[in-house]
Structure 1
Amino acid sequence: MKRGIITVILIIVVIGAIALVLKNNKKKNDAQTALVAQGSGAISVRVAPVKKVAVDLDFSANGNFIPKKELNFLSENAGRITKIYVEEGDRVHKGQILAHIDAEIINTDKETAQAALDNAIRDEARYVSSFKTGGVTQQQLDQAKLATRNAKLRLQGSARRVSDANIKSPIDGIVNKKYIETGAFVTAQGTQLFELVDVSKLKLKVNVNEGQVANLKVGETVQIKSNVFPSDNFSGKITFIAAKADETLNFPIEIEVDNNHKNTIKAGMYGTAIFKFPAQVATITIPRGSFVGSVSSNEVFVLGEGNTAKQRKVVAGRIIGDQVEILDGLKEGETVIISGQINLVDGSPVAIIK
C-alpha cells in the first residue's frame, strides 16, 4: 500500500518538473520572438537569380492506339439470314458482300410496287388524253401525275431494299466480331451484324497540358514508339487538337499513324508520342511560384537595395513545366523572390534564407 502511494507521488513530481521546463522554454521563445519583432522586422524569403536559359520544349506523352475507322454494322432490312460469306478475322473490301437476307418478301414488295407504277402510268396517260378534249379538269390531271410520282418513289424504295438484301461492307477493314449466324432473323430496327475495323491506319490518342498544347499544330509530324515493338520506328501526323480541355484540364490530341509494318500494331496497344522542337533562343525564366497569387497576376517581388522587397509588374509568356518565360519587366542579374510573398508589401524588409 505504502509502495503504491510513493509511486504516485513520484509520478506527480516528475510531471510537475516537465511542466516547469516547458513553461520556462516557452518564456524564452516568447522573449526571442519579441526581440526579433522589436528589431528589424525582416520577413524571411527565398530568392533566385534572374538569368537567361535555353528552353527545352521537347516532351513525350503516352496513349492508346485506336482504329482510324470502327463501325458497328446494323441491319436495314427485316428477314432471315440465309448465307454468311465471312468469318471473324477476315479482311474485307468496301462493297464486298458479307451476308445475304432471304429476299422473298422484299421481292414481292418490289413486284407490287412495279405493278402500281405501271397502273399509275396508264391512268396518267388516259387523264392527259381526256384533258385535251375537256373530259377531266386540271386538278384531276395533277392528281394523276402526283400518283405516278409517288408510285415511282415506292418502287425505288423497294428496289433499294432488294439490293440491301445483299449485306455489303461499307469500308475496307477486318471483321473483328460477327454477331449473327445462318438462320437468324434480323429486324429493320437495326440488328447488330458485324463489327468492322480499319487498322491500315491507326490513331494514337494522348493528352497534353496547357503549356505543351500551345506549341502544337495540326499537320505536324510526330515520332511514335510502340511499347510492344520498341525496335520499329513509326511516325504520324497530328490530325486533331481539342479546342477545350477535359475534366483533368488536359487537351486530347490525335495522331494518325500509318500501320505499314505488316500491321504489327493492334488497336488497344500502348504507344508513346515524342514531340521534338527546334533549339530555342535563350530567354529569361523564373519559377512559377515567384508570382504573387498566380501567373495571371503578372506581379512579382524583386530584391531591392538594403534587402527590401520591391513589387514589379512583368509580362509573362509561355509556361514551361515549373518555369515561366518573362517577356518584359525583369533583367539578367536581378534577384527575384520565390517564396514568402504572401507576407510582403512594396518596401518590406526581408531576410534571405540560405
Structure 2
Amino acid sequence: MKRKWKIILGISLPLLIAAGVMAGVRWSQRDLVTVQTGGTVRSDLTAVVTASGEIKPRNYINIGANAQGRITDLLVKEGDRVHRDQVVARIEHIQAQADVAAQKAAVASALADSAAAEEGLKVMDETIKSAMATVDRFKTELDRAKLNLDRSDELFKAKLIARQDYDQRKADYDSAAAAVRENDARLSQMKSQRAQVAAQLAAAQRRVSQAEAGLARVSDVLAKFDAVAPLDGVVTNLPVRIGETVVPGIQNSAASTIMTIADMSLITAEVKVDETDIVNVQLNQTAEIKIEAMPNRSFTGRVIEIGNTAILRSSGLAASQSATSNQEAKDFKVVIALEHPPDEIRPGLTCTAKITTATRRNVLTIPIQALTVRKKGDLERPKEGVQAAAESPNDRSRRVELQGVFVVNNGRAEFRKVETGITGATDIEVLSGLQEGDQIITGSYKTIRTIRNSARVKVDNRTPVLADTKG
C-alpha cells in the first residue's frame, strides 16, 4: 500500500510543479501583447495619384444645324477624314436658293440702271463741252462785232459812213450779245441737268449697294443650309440619316447635332481626380495611362490641364451649379496628353491614369499600416494624488491628436511622434522622429489600433498559416 502511494506521489508531484510553472508563466505574460514588426529602411519612393476617365481628342466640335429642314445629303461617313471648310452635309434649301436667285436679278437690274445713269452722265459731259465751245465762239463773234461797232461809231461821228451802215453794225453787235446770253443760259441749264443725272447715278449706285447687301444676306442664309467642317479632323460621331429633319438651336434648346469632328492629332485622357489628391497634381507631371480595350499595354503622357471647378461625383455637374450646399464627394477634371497614341485608339475608351506627383531618392520609409494616431492624454502615464486632482478633465491639450508609430524598445511599445512626407503604394516617407534600423510595430491592424503606450510586447513575425477550408 505504501508503495502505491509513493508511485502516486511520484507522478502527481512533477505534474503539480509543471502546472505551477505554467501558471506562473501565464501570469507573468497576462499583459503581454503579440505584435509583428518591421524596420525603418532607406529606399526610393514614388507618390502616385490614380484616377479613371476616358480617352478624348483635345479639340472636337459638334456640328449643329443652323437652319431647319430635311437632310438631303450626307457627304461623309463615320471615320472619314475631312478638311477645314469642306461641306459635309446639306439641308433642303429650295426657298433660300430661290431668294438668292431673285436677289441676284435685283442686283443685275440695279447695276443696269447704274450703268445707264453713268452713260447719261458721260453724254451730258460731252454736251456741256460742246455748249461751252459754242459759248466761246459766240463770245468771239461778240468781240468782233464790238470792234466793228466802235470803228463804225468813229467813222459815223466823222461823217465818213452813212447812218444805215452804223445801224447795221450796232444791230450785229446786239445780235451777238443776245446769242452769248442765250448760249450762257443754255450752258447753265445743261449743268443743272448734269447735276440731276449725277444724282440719279448716285441713287442707282446706292440701290446697287442695297441690292448687293440683300444678296449677301440671303446668300448667308443659303450657306447655313450647308454643314461645313470647321477644322481638319475625323468624323467620330454621325447620329443622323438622310431624310431626317433637323432644327437650329433656340434660347432654351440646343440645335440638332449633325455630326462630331475631332482633331485626332492630339489625344488626351480626361480623368477625374479625387478632391483629396488634386492638391498634389501639377502641370507637366508625367503619367502612365492604361486603356481597358488595350490590355497589357501602357502609354505615357503629361498633365496639360487641371480643372478649377469641383464636379459632383453623383451628377457630374459643377458644384457651383448646385443650388444647395452638401458634403457629397467631389472630383476635379485633369487632362493628360498622350505622347505616342496608337492609330487604333478611339474617343470614349475607358482608361486609368497613374500620375506621378513626387519622387524621392534614398529616403527613410516605413510601411503605411504602421502609422497611427493617439490623443496626447492617452500617451501620458496616469497621475496620482494631488497632481491627478489638479488636472481638468476638459484640458484641451490632452485631446490633441498626435501622428506616430510604436517602436519596440526593451520589450515595450514606445510611441514616437513622426512627421511624414510623400506616400507611395505601400510605404510612406519619414521626415523626423525615427532613425534608420528602428524596429516598429506593423501589425496586426487591431493591435496597432488598440495597443497602449509602454505596453509589454512579444514579437512574432511568423507568417500566419491560413486554415484549410477544404472539406
- TM-score higher than 0.5: yes
TM-score (norm 2): 0.47
1:245, CA displacement in angstroms? 9.2
- Per the alignment, residue 56 of structure 2 pairs with 66
Match of 1:319 among 395, 409, 423: 423
- Tell whether the 8 Å contact from 1:236 to 1:258 is kept in structure 2 after alignment: yes
Do residues 351 (structure 1) and 432 (structure 2) align? no
Match of 1:255 in 2: 336
2:122 equivalent in structure 1: none
The correspondence for 1:302, drawn from 407, 430, 440, is 407
Q: How does 1:1-354 map to 2 (within 5 A)?
A: 36-37=26-27, 39=29, 41-55=31-45, 65-106=55-96, 160-189=220-249, 190-205=255-270, 217-220=282-285, 236-241=301-306, 253-257=334-338, 263-268=343-348, 280-293=360-373, 297-305=402-410, 307-339=411-443, 340-354=447-461
Residue by residue, what CA displacement relative to the aligned partner does 1:41-77 show, whole Å, maximum 9, x if unpaired? 2222222222322335689988753333344422121
SS of 1:219's partner is coil
Tell me the distance in 2 between the aligned counterparts of 1:178 and 1:76: 17
CA distances 1:68-96 after superposition (whole Å, capped 9, x unpaired): 33444221211233444333332112222
> Partner of 1:55: helix, strand, or coil?
strand
Q: CA deviation at 1:311?
A: 1.7
Q: CA deviation at 1:280?
A: 3.6
Structure 1 pair 320–97 and aligned structure 2 pair: CA distance change class (3 A):
same
* Unaligned stretches of 5+ residues in structure 2: 1-18, 107-212, 250-254, 314-328, 375-400, 462-471
Tell me the alpha carbon deviations over residues 252-288 of structure 1, each in whole angstroms, 9 at most, x when there is no partner: 6432236687x44333557786877997431111111
**Taking structure 1 as reference, are residues 322 and 195 closer, same or farther at Cα in structure 2, changes over 3 Å only?**
same
In 2: Cα distance, 1:78 partner to 1:342 partner: 68
Contact kept? 2:285, 2:357, Cα under 8 Å: no
Inter-CA distance 344–231: structure 2 relative to 1 (3 Å threshold): closer
SS at 1:54's partner residue?
strand
Letter in 2 for 1:174: V
2:460 and 2:362 map into 1 onto residues whose CA distance is: 28
Per-residue deviation, 1:336: 1.4
Percent sequence identity is 23
Amino acid at match of 2:429: E
- 1:195-223 deviation per Cα after TM superposition (whole angstroms, max 9, x unaligned): 32332221134677899877653224557
Q: Which has the larger Rg? A: 2
The residue type paired with residue 451 of structure 2 is L
Q: What is the aligned length?
A: 283
Residues 1:283 and 1:250: Cα distance change in structure 2 (over 3 Å): farther
Structure 1: 5+ residue runs without aligned partners? 1-28, 116-152
Report which of the two has the higher share of helix: 2
1:226 Cα offset (Å): 7.7
